[in-house]
Structure formats: structure tokens, C-alpha cells
Amino acid sequence: MRLGLICDGEPGLGACRRLGRALVQEGAAVTLMSTAPPECLPTAAEEDSEDALGWLPLEPLAAATSDLVQGLDALGVFLEGNAVTAFRAAHRQASALRGQSPCLLFTGPVRPLCGDALMADLLPRLGYDLIALQGDAQRQELEWLLRSCGRSAQAHTLLGLWCLATEPIGSATTPDPVLLVLDETQVPPSPFANGMLYQRLRSIALQTPSWQVRLQPDGPLPADPADWPETSLLWHGLQDRQRPANLQLGEGDDLTLALMQASACLGIGSSWLITAMVWGKPTVVLGDFGIRTEFNGPFFFGSGCLARLADCLPLERLRERPAVNADWLAARGWAIADGPARLLRGLAELRP
């Protein structure tokens, strides 16, 4: 099967690259269509690998109307918001003007979501030929949405946690235990709140010199530190002229290695918290700022990982935290081991 995957920057780009490689391993030919920055393009070694992806530098709407997509069996549209609706309308109109049938279109959330955030994400995707959900919890919410909209059905499949890095990892050790704090830009959205959180983490580092406290961005930051937002913990760390030696500032491209080295992981609502859970790291979803939809906090209800920062002290207590609720994690998509194969089967059933 020949597939195209459409995205426009993060988080869709990284997710589509992971999905594309998995689909190639299932026998599909996959072309990624995105105006990715040069550092995100495949390297020469990746182009020669067995799971290599094709790549076309096309804007989403340009891809929707391009002759190049007419030879594909299906298009995966992993955009967000109004761009999802605009792509479908443009592709169908361009196909009609050519007197051709449109491609099969499939889509789905490009990040773990639930509740109001998931409803808002799914609404513009209704009417696509196939919606790829992550797990049974999202399937139940789709059914509720269809009933509330008066729709009778919507083709869908369960793809698993495809948008996250969950593949097995090796091990990496450090001389001292490491608390990895995921720095989520704009969460919380107040520079004051971020500054207060930084000061609390600074105090913890001073009080626990036997631990390394690492502030790790969970996504790309501007290359010039002068452009870092004041709602980033790293920005506050950069202003600290007397930062404790064991309070470290990480870099965006070190995230996977940092998780491998972490003795425990802490964050407010980052999707990478799920990766930490899957990899067996003691994980804390910080509830000090409230469990708010804009922080994706409701997603973690039932995980067993919600706690306040004070509950983590002394840091040695983190080693004793219970593991994530296995049923909760399974319902979020971890139970789906054959997602790419399911997707290909679902698309094959829809082909005329």
C-alpha cells in the first residue's frame, strides 16, 4: 500500500516519522509531506535504511491539491484544528475538478488527549474515511461524541501510543541519582508561577546534594537562549547566577538520553510523562497548579501518578512510588501492540 503522511511541524512531525517507519516495516511505501526544517530531514544513513521514508517538502494545502497524491492509496492527515477541515475540503474539491476520486483520508489525534481537549480535537476529524485513535479510552469518548452529534457511525481503528517514543530502550547510568523535571514551555503559562516552581526546585537541589536535578525541555526551544520564553524553567535557570551545581539545564535533543538516565521523572502534563511510565520510571504528575484541561491534567486521572511536590520529599521517596496503574495505561493505548497492521487492514477494507 502506498501512503502519504501530512503534518506541519511538531508534534505531528516526530509522530509521523515514528508511524511512517512502523508502516514501512509492515510492507507499506510511505512518503512524509511536510515543510520540515533542515535539521528534521532524514540523514543519508536514514535514507539508506530498510525503514526509510520518502519525503516531499509540501505545505499541507499544497499537498491536498497536488497531482502527486493522486497515485497514493491513502493520505494520513495529522494536522490540528481548522487545518484538518481545510485539507479535506481542498483535496475533495481538487479531485472533483480533475474528474477523479479523492484519496482515502485517515486522521487522528497527534498527542494523548481526553475529555474536552479530545472532543475539540475530534470534531473537525469527523467525516474522514478513518479515524485512528490511540486506545479504548479514546474509542469510548468517540462513541459519546457521535451520540451527542446525532451521528450514527464513524469508521475508526485503534493505533496505540503511536505518537510517543515507547520502543524499548537500553540503560544508561550516572554516578548520582537524577530527578528529571520536564520543562513544558507555557505550562504553567505565567512567568511568576514558573519562577516560583524554579525556586522550589532550586531549594530541593540545595537540600539534596546527592541528587542531580535536571530541567529538561520536552520540546524544541529557540537556538538562541536570549529568545527562550519567560514561561520556561530553563529561562529562569539561565538568569540564576548562583545556580547550584547539581541543578542542570538540559537541551532539547538530549531528551531520550535524559529519560534513560533518570531515576525518576516529574512534570505537569507533558506527553513524555507517558514515555517515562512505559519505560518503568517512577513518575510524578505534578498537581500543585491544579488539574486543568489546558495543562492536559485530566488525561492523567486514574494513572496513580498524581502528587504534589511536597509529597516527593525527601527525593529518596520517589524510588518507593508505586508503578503506574496498568489498566489505565492499557486503556490509553499501551495494550495495542499491532497498531500499524490494524491501520493497514482498516484502510484495505475501505478501498473501493
The residue count of the chain comes to 352
Query: Is residue 224 located within the same domain as residue 327?
Result: yes
Query: Is residue 154 located within the same domain as residue 214?
Result: no
Per-residue pLDDT tens digits for 30-83:
999 988 654 555 555 555 565 678 889 999 999 999 999 988 999 999 999 999
Give pLDDT, residue 332.
94
Across the chain, what does the average pLDDT equal?
A: 89
DSSP state of 268: S
Query: Is residue 149 located within the same domain as residue 203?
Result: no
> Could you tell me if residue 37 is inside a domain?
yes
> Could you tell me if residue 170 is inside a domain?
no
Range of the domain at 285: 178-332
Q: Strands 283-286 and 306-307: what pairing?
A: parallel
* Residue 196 burial class via C-beta count within 10 angstroms: exposed 0-12, middle 13-18, buried 19 and up: middle
Label residue 151 by pLDDT band (50, 70, 90): confident
Query: Is residue 257 located within the same domain as residue 269?
Result: yes
Query: Is residue 321 located within the same domain as residue 346?
Result: no
Query: Is residue 104 located within the same domain as residue 243?
Result: no
DSSP state of 330: I
Query: Is residue 111 located within the same domain as residue 250?
Result: no
> At how many degrees (to 10) do helices 339-350 and 12-25 cross?
80
Domain of residue 70, CATH code: 3.40.50.2000
Query: Is residue 28 located within the same domain as residue 89?
Result: yes
- pLDDT of 309 higher than 60: yes
CB-side neighbour CA atoms (13 Å) of 334: 20
d(CA 246, CA 346): 50
Query: Is residue 153 located within the same domain as residue 193?
Result: no
Out of 45-54, 178-187, 264-273, least confident range: 45-54
Q: Strands 283-286 and 212-217: what pairing?
A: unpaired
96-102 long-range contacts, Cβ below 8 Å, gap at least 24? 98/70, 100/70, 101/352
CB 10 within 8 A of CB 162: no
> Could you tell me if residue 165 is inside a domain?
no
> Could you tell me if residue 167 is inside a domain?
no
Label residue 351 by pLDDT band (50, 70, 90): confident
> Could you tell me if residue 169 is inside a domain?
no
Question: What is the tally of structural domains in the chain?
Answer: 2
Residues 228-239 have a mean pLDDT of 92
> Could you tell me if residue 204 is inside a domain?
yes
Give pLDDT, residue 189.
80
Lookup result for grid cell 500499524: 340
Per-residue pLDDT tens digits for 140-149:
999 999 999 8
Give pLDDT, residue 38.
46
Residue 5 corresponds to which amino acid? L
Query: Is residue 320 located within the same domain as residue 191?
Result: yes
| Percent of the chain residues topping a pLDDT of 70 | 92
Sheet architecture: strand order including 156-158: 54-56, 29-33, 2-6, 74-77, 104-107, 130-133, 156-158
Q: What is the gyration radius of the CA atoms in the chain, in angstroms?
A: 21
CB 20 within 8 A of CB 32: yes
Query: Is residue 233 located within the same domain as residue 299?
Result: yes
Q: Can you say whether residue 209 is alpha, beta or left, with left for phi > 0 and alpha for psi between -120 and 50 degrees?
A: alpha
Give pLDDT, residue 219.
82
Query: Is residue 314 located within the same domain as residue 342?
Result: no
Label residue 172 by pLDDT band (50, 70, 90): low
- pLDDT of 24 higher than 60: yes
Label residue 324 by pLDDT band (50, 70, 90): very high
Residues 109-134 have a mean pLDDT of 94
Residue 61 three-state SS = helix
Give pLDDT, residue 223.
84
> Could you tell me if residue 155 is inside a domain?
yes
Peptide bond before residue 225 is cis, with ω within 30 degrees of 0: no
> Could you tell me if residue 328 is inside a domain?
yes
